A and B are shown apart, each in its own frame.
Chain A
Amino acid sequence: MNTASVSLGASVSSQSRFVQLALAAFLGIFVMGFVGFSHIDAVHNAAHDYRHSMGFPCH
């Protein structure tokens, strides 16, 4: 796969790049995990139809 030649944060060092991208990915995993996997009843009930519609394990 050919990659894009333009980088989003051209000025940042590769170490800082890694940290920032990892941070963004963890934020995404946290959000997804909270809505889709939380065992809290209120969260489960609020997102019930969504969980079923995404094929998340439910009930």
Chain B
Amino acid sequence: MTLFRNVVFIAAIAGLVAGVVLACMQAYATVPLILKAEVYEQAGGGHTHDHGLAPAATDSNAMSSAMPAEAATAEEEGWAPADGFERFAFNVVANVVTGIGFALILVAASEFAGGIGNWRQGLFWGFAGFAVFTLAPNLGLPPELPAMPAADLAQRQIWWTATVVATAAGLGLLAFRKSLPLAVIAVGLIVAPHIVGAPQPDSFESPIPDGLHHQFVVAVTLTNLVFWLVLGAVAGLVRGRLTGTATGLRDSFA
């Protein structure tokens, strides 16, 4: 299992570095916007988790005007980290853990294609990861702030997953198969999820101002771009150290 061990080793280092970088960026760029949105959410009656029922319950169009107080207290949500340091700490953990998860997927996929040779190739692999996991799904399902209207959670998760798989397959075909019909199929795969369309909420009425949401979409997209570039570059660097970059360089000049 040397290969498996090496892949996990590379992914652990790349995921740790990129996850910490992403957590720091989120602390400045995205989390403050989430906290702002939560103020609107609280004003609108608190966290509602019964998605299907939510539109029916608010059929009177008195959206944000002081919902009854019992709506806020009735919701039983289970354990949650306390605001402040604890919440930040859990966010860092989530970032590092999923960073390693994304790195495992990226490194394993790249090994099938011969591996990431150096940090510059890593940038391109990272950009591909950004396109697959951020750009494509966020076209149909823009990053949401708390309290924004959204369709059924399970349906959105299915669409998200299908879009990621189709985009990854499409990009893979484009990059590694030199055949015109396959390239046409690849473009079809990338476009298809958006023709099918992401599940949409019944109503787009939202207590969150458009400006705040737009700012959030930009922040999410850019922080994710940096995350993926760091992830790919570090994976390339560590892999180079592991295999001996010198050989790779000599062969690429030959």
Contacts and interface: CB of A to CB of B under 8 A. Distances in A.
Contact of B176 (A1, A47, A56): A1
Contacts of B101: 27-32, 35
A3 B112 contact: no
B34 A52 contact: yes
Contacts of B243: 4, 6-8
Secondary structure at the B interface, as helix, strand, loop or mixed, is helix
A51 to B, nearest CB: 8
B142 to A, nearest CB: 7
A58 B48 CA distance: 12
Chain A CB within 10 Å — which of B48, B80, B108, B251 has the most?
Answer: B108
Secondary structure at the A interface, as helix, strand, loop or mixed, is helix
Given A20-B4, A24-B4, A25-B108, A3 B77 contact: no
Nearest to A50: B94
B77 to A, nearest CB: 6
B146 A59 contact: yes
Nearest to B143: A55
A8 B94 CA distance: 28
A46 B80 contact: yes
B4 A23 contact: yes
Nearest to A25: B108
Nearest to B103: A28
Chain B CB within 10 Å — which of A4, A17, A31 has the most?
Answer: A4
A32 B129 CA distance: 14
Contacts of B48: 59
A21 B115 CA distance: 11
Given A1-B121, A31-B100, 19 more contacts: A1-B124, A3-B117, A4-B117, A6-B247, A7-B114, A12-B3, A21-B3, A24-B107, A31-B98, A35-B94, A35-B98, A42-B79, A46-B81, A46-B90, A48-B80, A50-B94, A53-B220, A54-B224, A55-B137
Nearest 7 pairs of A and B residues by beta carbon:
A3-B114, A28-B104, A9-B3, A4-B117, A31-B101, A45-B80, A41-B78
10 contacts: A5-B252, A8-B2, A21-B112, A24-B7, A28-B11, A29-B105, A31-B101, A32-B102, A50-B26, A52-B30
